[in-house]
Amino acid sequence: MIPPSDHPARPVAAITGGASGIGLAFARRWIQEGGRVVLLDFSPSTLADAVAKLGPDNARGLAVDVTQNDTVLAAYASIDATEGRLDTVLNAAGIARPAPSADVSDEDFTLMLDIHVTGTMRSCRAAYPLLKRTGGTIVNVASVAALTGMPGRASYTTAKAGIAGLTRTLAVEWGREGVRVNAVGPGYVRTALIDTLIAEGKLRDTLIRERTALGRFAEAAEIAEAVHFLASPASSYVNGHLLMADGGLTVDGNWY
């Protein structure tokens, strides 16, 4: 472990689910501002591709399964030993498995909660000692699903609402230690996961665009801007907040 006085100047971000989607977009944004990233992701091959895109001088990849606490602990121990500091954490790991609520098995429901909610908690908990040393930040990825009832997505909406609640509690507990904890609530974002759901007929993109006040999906880079604000000193007095970046989906009353 490198003591605080010997920390390198380059700020470090750890990103779960960092090899694709919003996580990878934020990695690019963080690097753009002179930072370094450590990508924590389930797929070694996807990690290798992401690190190659970002450049080995800017990024390092660690294979992590957020449902397995030992891999999460090992990842943050590696960051402590290798980078010697940690300035922000983005918890973006997640999956989607739409299904009618009456048909969802206990196993599928529990898995969704374990990845999204408990996985986020595992990452936050492991990162906390490192973040205390730098006065760092945490940004958790919630969703419009945290605020709305979405048919066929009982496990997903429950998990995202849980992330919002977890964020508020950690913000209250850790604020006096100088660690701010916030969440971003994306609307629908054009990612590989969303494209797959559309192709499988599990999302109707035309209806989503009609329901969103801006009339379109977000780009991952747009959500990364919101994350960067919450992760950076620009939001120094923002703590425990759920920032909706949804194009107006959750406030649009045009249906009425």
Q: Quick: pLDDT tens for 180-203.
A: 999 999 999 988 878 888 898 888
Average of pLDDT values for 117-127? 98
Does residue 165 lie within any of the structural domains? yes
Does residue 75 lie within any of the structural domains? yes
Does residue 256 lie within any of the structural domains? no
- So what's the pLDDT on residue 2? 38
> What is the average pLDDT value for the chain, to the nearest integer?
93
d(CA 233, CA 115): 29
Tell me how many domains the chain contains: 1
Does residue 251 lie within any of the structural domains? no
Assigned token pair, 64: 């992590």
Does residue 227 lie within any of the structural domains? yes
Q: How confident is the model at residue 3 (pLDDT cuts 50, 70, 90)?
A: very low
Residue positions annotated with a catalytic role? 156
- So what's the pLDDT on residue 6? 45
Q: Output the domain CATH number for residue 163.
A: 3.40.50.720
Does residue 229 lie within any of the structural domains? yes
d(CA 158, CA 141): 13
Average of pLDDT values for 152-156? 92
Q: Are 85 and 12 in contact (CB under 8 A)?
A: yes
pLDDT in tens, 195-228: 888 898 888 888 889 989 999 999 999 999 999 9
Residue type, 48: A
Among 236, 240, 231, 250, smallest CA distance to 90 is for 231
What is the dihedral sign for C-alpha 26, 31, 35, 37? Answer: positive
Among 155, 141, 156, 254, smallest CA distance to 207 is for 254
- Residue span of the structural domain in which 149 resides: 9-187+219-243
CA-CA distances (angstroms) from residue 37 to 2, 27, 42, 55, 139? 18, 6, 16, 10, 14
